[in-house]
Amino acid sequence: MDTHSRKIFTYIDFEKETPPYLNLCIKTWQKNLPKGYEIIFLNEKNLKNYIPETALAQVLDKSRKDCFYCYLEYLAASVLYYNGGIFLDADTIITDKFIPSEILLSCCDAVVYGNSRNDICSGFLMAKKESTFLEELMRRLLFFMHLPEIGGYKRNFVLNNVLRDTSCDDVVVLDCEETGFRMERAMYGVFDSYLYNKYYFSNISSIEDFIKTTKGITALSNSLTPQEYKEMDEEEFLSRDIFLAKIFNVLL
């Protein structure tokens, strides 16, 4: 099943301590993914098992330190180009409403989530093996990463540009609001750090609305998560009177 691979890849940077709440995210995958899915945790030691060394050699020396988001996007594109499947950021929640959608790849090269302006949302990429869309994305990411200065890179900058230059038939863009992929945007109509924290790290949100709105995959934003919650162990996190803890308690 090469073109409809049920492999889910995620990247864990073991040089940094993984916030324990991300382990709770992954536990939702393990509990709620249908049978037949394989979760593969990528790290610096096993990348060569999934991406040819010739492709890795072009980025390992420089880009990981200089532009981590560029590096991560290149890894996501590469691992899917050579294997097919789904790449998820670790800060993603999966519920029992998750429905396999690989059938979409029968009529396109790749599937992403985006907003009404077709700006791509971070955290999810699904593609068939040897996708022409990913081939072009990898080419442009390599070019971008080898520019003299790439500081201040905004995530998905290159991906958005490739999407705008690509035939609409090549990529399916799923609505991040209608699907609840970006739940705070679905609830409030916009996405920013204040609303993200208001939604997940207070107790004013409704678990009923969350369950009703999500279509099975909801992305968090680890970069916006308050540091105090990143440092809590799983037990302490689950005991807090915040909405994200309530979500985990219900799902797990």
- CATH number for the domain spanning 231: value is 3.90.550.10
Determine, yes or no, domain membership for 17. Answer: yes
Determine, yes or no, domain membership for 2. Answer: no
- Taking the C-alpha atoms of residue 13 and residue 175, their distance in angstroms, rounded to an integer, is 29
**Cβ 82 vs Cβ 52: under 8 Å:** yes
Q: Which two tokens stand for residue 41?
A: 């945790």
By three-state DSSP, how is residue 212 classified?
helix
Q: Tokens 């690509």 belong to which residue?
A: 166
Determine, yes or no, domain membership for 185. Answer: yes
Query: In the sheet that 171-175 helps form, which strands lie side by side, from edge to edge?
Result: 38-42, 7-11, 85-88, 124-127, 110-114, 171-175
**Lowest-confidence region among 98-112, 120-134, 157-171, 204-218:** 157-171
Q: How many Cα atoms within 13 Å fall on the side-chain side of residue 213?
A: 20
Determine, yes or no, domain membership for 1. Answer: no
Q: How far is CA 192 from CA 66, 196, 223, 228, in A?
A: 25, 6, 12, 19
pLDDT digits (tens, 9 = 90+) for 113-171: 987 666 788 899 999 999 999 999 999 888 887 776 555 556 777 888 888 887 667 88
Determine, yes or no, domain membership for 191. Answer: yes
Question: Where does the pLDDT of residue 64 fall: very low under 50, low under 70, confident under 90, or very high at 90 and above?
Answer: low
Determine, yes or no, domain membership for 187. Answer: yes
Domain of residue 158: give its range.
7-251
pLDDT of the residue at 181: 94
Distance from CA of residue 158 to its chain's centroid? Answer: 16
Determine, yes or no, domain membership for 82. Answer: yes
Total domains in the fold of the chain: 1
**87 pairs with which residues across the strands?**
9, 125
